[in-house]
Amino acid sequence: MTLRLRSHSFADDATLMMAIVNRTPDSFYDKGATWAEDAAVERVRLVAGQGAEIVDIGGIKAAPGVEISAAEEKARVVDFVARIREEHPQLVISVDTWRAEVADAVLAVGADLINDAWGGADPDVVDVVAQYDASLVCTHTGGVQVRTRPHRIEYDDVVASAIADTVAYAERALAAGVARESLIIDPAHDFGKNTFHSLEVTRRLGEMVDTGWPVLVSLSNKDFVGETLDKPVGERLTGTLAATSVCALAGARIYRVHEVVETRETVDMVWTIAGRRLPARAVRGLA
């Protein structure tokens, strides 16, 4: 399905890199490397130069941590979004927030996409996104409370749960007025899941793709990769790219990443093997 992310459109055979830009002092991966605004601006310039189509800006750590008010979250992201919008008109700007108040503020200054990583915890998000004719990522969290880790969570079928919850969220957004071509579903690896759940979601991702909704995966340096390979944060790139290959073969459209170049090459190679993309050049045995 052709994707429309507010004023940006992408053909139905396009895969997109969503580069992570944290405006937090305590992110699990970069430990606050882009907490300072100038450092965050340089990160955006870097990933844009590497070919990322989307930047995903977050003002609050998803994991448990210091409590951050909506006002503080807005202080971290709203002016920054406005600055990036002015400097990079070609980029899709996503903001990682579950709060309708924050979504309203960032969409007003030029954001295109709300990445609701907590699966509709604030029911007003869909109305805000519809008001701006913007786009929305609908995630699966298994009902876990915002900013908590899962504890002995169980599913009869984790993939069936992910499909049911994300499709229901997308349909609720559709009913609120969000355009169908602007809705994305995300199984949300690690969120509301143990490692076995995330591995099963990866293995069966094609079932989510088969719903017809565009699928986003956020695999980069996740705990399920670290636990599978017994690797700490910072040493999970190989495992991340292996999981990326499986999701790419299944047909995932958007990849939320720390490493843009490596992920792009992995996805392009897999999509070409799958017959969805032509080689960049093919002269061997032909010239």
CATH number at residue 37: 3.20.20.20
Tell me what pLDDT residue 62 has. 81
Q: Is residue 41 scored above 80 in pLDDT?
A: yes
Tell me the average pLDDT of the chain. Answer: 96
In a domain, 9, yes or no: yes
Q: Is residue 27 scored above 90 in pLDDT?
A: no
Q: What's at 46, amino acid-wise?
A: L
pTM of the predicted model, to two decimals?
Answer: 0.96
Q: 25 lies in which domain range?
A: 3-273
In a domain, 286, yes or no: no
**In the chain, % of residues over pLDDT 90:** 90
Q: What's at 223, amino acid-wise?
A: D
Q: Token pair of 57, please?
A: 């800006």
Q: How far is 135 from 143, CA to CA, in rounded Å? A: 22
Catalytic residue among 222, 236, 253, 264: 222
Catalytic residue among 74, 99, 193, 256: 256
Tell me what pLDDT residue 192 has. 95
In a domain, 211, yes or no: yes
Tell me what pLDDT residue 245 has. 98
Largest Cα separation within the chain, whole Å, is: 62
Tell me what pLDDT residue 50 has. 98
pLDDT band at 287 (very low <50, low <70, confident <90, very high): confident
Tell me what pLDDT residue 213 has. 98
Active site residue 256: yes
In a domain, 279, yes or no: no
Contacts of 30 (CB under 8 A, 6+ apart): 22, 258
In a domain, 168, yes or no: yes
In a domain, 104, yes or no: yes
Q: Is residue 74 scored above 90 in pLDDT?
A: yes
pLDDT band at 121 (very low <50, low <70, confident <90, very high): very high
In a domain, 281, yes or no: no
Tell me what pLDDT residue 29 has. 79
- Count CA within 13 A, CB hemisphere, residue 225: 20
Q: How far is 236 from 242, CA to CA, in rounded Å? A: 10
Query: Which of 124, 67, 79 is closest to 98 using CA atoms?
Result: 124
| pLDDT digit string, tens, across residues 154-172 | 999 999 999 999 999 999 9
| pLDDT digit string, tens, across residues 245-274 | 999 999 999 999 999 999 999 999 999 999
Number of domains in the chain: 1
Active site residue 222: yes
In a domain, 33, yes or no: yes
**In the chain, % of residues over pLDDT 70:** 100
